[in-house]
Structure 1
């Protein structure tokens, strides 16, 4: 077999193989609905196993379970760069809702004289978050990383983790007050 014929065979084989494998798929509204139904079934099962004494922890666990499961299930279907970034941004937005929920609950629990400390801490965290994300953007430049689409995924993951971590922290503050 001559070399050009071998190259042609290998290219046609690899093209046929690539077209028959299950690659990332665009998530359709029907697929997304199926994901959400599956998650709600898991939530119902989780609720049955919980005791009533831990209502605050159970509520938070369910909120975060919905977010994490949605992100995981979405990325199983669409693990392209765009799909992963979309799923992480959706998760970050959902964690931001939880962050604000526990910020407000915490404010309601604090004495008026102590609310200023939380408000100032949250304002400082927002400034820190914005500056840290800006620095992360600098570090993501091709001259520092070599570039590539992985940098987009890393930046989105960094943002997602910042929001998630702050939501968890505010929940923990709230839970410590609620349990006393």
Structure 2
């Protein structure tokens, strides 16, 4: 049974935990849905004169220097694309090298399975058997074995696990 001061301490801790959770919710940004993609319009190129401005006519006095040709205003930089446009949703075409790898994997036979000896393999290696789980310690504890079937007769493994790993182990 809890005493009054213990109940008070637990209540205070629960209240503090609630306040802390509220602060975390408030301070951490909530996931905001991505805005709809906005098409990016190209900025129209400003007209640039094809030829430089003609020199002033000869009738003007020579004391005045010729005016420099007008410099076109720099074009506005294009709007940066949003994340939705920067990473297209269309799949990237498979490269030729990847296609060759896929064809080789399709035509290859089954992958080689390393066969472990029940009497000499480490517990870590036995735990890596496909479909076995953490069985290494149990197998090591009941050594030595004269056949793989002793995993069942010594009640080391269940029938289901034995059926999954029996082709991956041997006894030498």
The alignment's TM-score, normalised by the length of structure 2, stands at 0.24
**Structure having the higher Rg:** 2
**Structure with higher helix content:** 1
